[in-house]
Amino acid sequence: MKILLSGILLLIGSALVVNRVLAPLYGRFDAAECRAAYAAARTHHDSVTVDLHPYGATGSQRGVCGQVRARNVGTVADLAALLPVRQAP
């Protein structure tokens, strides 16, 4: 009986350890939280950290906040940089 009880406790303990190892270290951001984190970022390192933060409020949407960041066009010259380059035939 002691061996069976010890085995059950060992399995429960192992399951808890595996659960903690596979769990994320911090929660996922939604789009608004990603934008707020970008607004609070002061350095390039801060922006890269937010780029790699997990994104997705629901289980079906998974990714990183870098997928949420939108390019902003400040001048007409910036627009040319966003257009794809066409190759000559």
- Domain contains 12: yes
- Domain contains 89: no
Structure tokens at 63: 């990714």
Domain of residue 44 covers 2-81
- Domain contains 62: yes
Q: What is the H or E stretch that residue 79 is in?
A: helix 76-82
- Domain contains 23: yes
- For residues 19 and 24, give the distance between their C-alpha atoms in angstroms, rounded to a whole number: 10
Q: What is the pLDDT of residues 1-11, one digit of tens each?
A: 889 999 999 99
Q: What is the pLDDT of residues 48-82, one digit of tens each?
A: 888 888 887 565 567 788 877 755 555 555 555 55
- Domain contains 50: yes
Domain count, the chain: 1
To 10 degrees, the CA torsion angle through 75, 83, 72, 74? 0
Split at pLDDT 50, 70, 90, the class of 83 is low
pLDDT value of position 60:
59
Q: pTM of the predicted model, to two decimals?
A: 0.49
